[in-house]
Amino acid sequence: MTFEQLGNEGRTVDDAPQLDANSGLVYFGNRLCPFAHRAWWALLEKQVTGIDYIHIELGPNKPAWYQEKINPFGTVPCLYDHGRPVFESMILAEYFEEKFPNQGTKLLPEDPVDRASVRLFCSQFGEKGIRPLYALLSNQDRSKDEELQQALVKVLKEFNTRLEKQSSGPFFLGDQVSLADLALIPFVDRMSTVLKHYRGFDFLALPELSRIRDAYEASKKREAFQKTSQAPEFYIFVYNRYANPAK
């Protein structure tokens, strides 16, 4: 069984497209990447149409022209707004909120304190929450799995507590999905599947992570999330290179 990295909404190109004042909104993404998932989910929540989605293959097949001519960081996602670039996933997600404030889902609250709380959650998860997920998945020394599992749970419990303190759920702000959820859930979507499959570790089954589980379950009911997520079999296939790099 094989899975393509390309989603139905995307197209491939052989070289860097012309990006100027007449090129509209051009989005560069990939379906396997949780960072790209954040921004594409935000775009669909904002009900933005008319986006030119260009698929960028990741890994050894990533085209050289992408970093040379489009994104100097070499990462997805990025977007060109009539020739002007916007880089990094959460910056791009907030860009969609600011550019299209009067349509779709409101992803940032009006209250400035709540806005600051959302931004802090996003920043802290980026700094502390992502690395331990990949550390456990990529670890090749089975004797270290338990230690890495404990380290991961410790970090995730911090974010579970942040969710609990902010609201009664299911999302960070209660009934309203926000950028905080978009920062977290694409990683939960992938890692809950691949860590259970490759490492036998089901962190969503832990009672101390119930708020993260609630936010994930609520996200899966949203149409925009459903259109941007992938089947578990897809994640298992594409993340094999992290779990078993020698194979």
Dist CA 161 CA 97 (whole Å)? 26
Q: Which is nearest to 190 in space by CA: 140, 132, 139, 238?
A: 238
Q: Rounded to an integer, what distance in angstroms lies between the CA atom of residue 217 and that of residue 143?
A: 32
The CA R_g of the chain, rounded to the nearest whole Å, is 18
Report residue 206: phi and psi, to 5°: -75, 130
Compute the distance between CA of residue 160 and CA of residue 10 in angstroms, rounded to an integer.
Answer: 34
Let me know: does 181 contact 122? Beta carbons within 8 Å: no
Distances (CA, A) of 57 to 62, 105, 134, 210, 225: 5, 29, 20, 35, 22
Q: Which of 33, 163, 182, 194 is catalytic?
A: 33
16 burial level (CB within 10 Å; 0-12, 13-18, 19+): middle
Active site residue 33: yes
Whether the CB-CB separation of 164 and 157 falls below 8 Å is answered with: no
Is the Cβ–Cβ distance between 84 and 77 less than 8 Å? no
45 close to 97: Cβ distance less than 8 angstroms: no
Residues that are catalytic: 33
